Copies of this chain bind each other. A is one copy, B any other.
Amino acid sequence: MSVSVINYNRGMVRWEPDARGRLEQAALALYGERGFEQTTVAEIAERAGLTERTFFRHFADKREVLFWGQDALMALVTAHIADALDSASPFEAVGGALRAVGEIFEGRRAHARRRQAVIAANPGLQERELIKLASLAATMAEALGRRGVPQPAAKLTAETAVAIFKVAFDRWIRAGGDDDLTHVIGESLDELKALTADT
């Protein structure tokens, strides 16, 4: 890594450039090498060249390294569904929100792939990921409800949107090319439309 580590450590003054990013990198590397359960916060901090105290300024615990940003994700999705054109259909509104989520992951495929491998190796983390996706569906259904989409259309659209996101995300992290996630989400939306039409 070419990150230059500069620690000002005089009394109360401490500044660690990109401490958060370094802790995240160190944690993912260790979770991959040793397993999530076997890794301690002390080891993560050491690998990142930082203190445990710095770790806890950024993350509540070692699980949060994998699941931070969930509130921001929900807020983003809610805002995109609310801001969709009045003429947008429920699926168009959630499609725009999913594409916005896709943009967050631009240039982060290697990271996403490592994270996914850690989660796939640990049932407790898989449960946490499923809960996150269930919350995402509930958030989307609420946002659609505020646009005036009735039930069950709102829930059906939201649950299906999360199904599309799961499949697209999985495709994207397995794919060899350089398609971005937003593109794969768009393809998956089109494919679902073709699949449901063919009945």
Contacts and interface: CB of A to CB of B under 8 A. Distances in A.
Interface of A: 89-92, 95, 126-127, 130-131, 134, 137, 151-153, 155-157, 159-160, 162-164, 166-168, 170-171, 188-189, 191-193, 195-199
A109 B151 CA distance: 20
A193 B199 contact: yes
A105 B127 CA distance: 26
A88 to B, nearest CB: 9
Given A159-B163, A163-B159, A167-B159, A195 B153 contact: yes
A192 B156 contact: yes
A131 B195 CA distance: 25
Contacts of A189: 199
B89 A152 contact: no
Contacts of A168: 152
B126 A155 contact: no
A105 to B, nearest CB: 17
A93 to B, nearest CB: 10
Nearest to A156: B167
Counting chain B CB atoms within 10 Å of each CB, the highest count among A95, A126, A170, A196 belongs to A196
Nearest to A95: B199
A195 to B, nearest CB: 6
A195 B157 contact: yes
A171 B193 CA distance: 23
B89 A195 contact: yes
Contacts of A166: 159
Given A127-B127, A134-B130, A193 B196 contact: yes
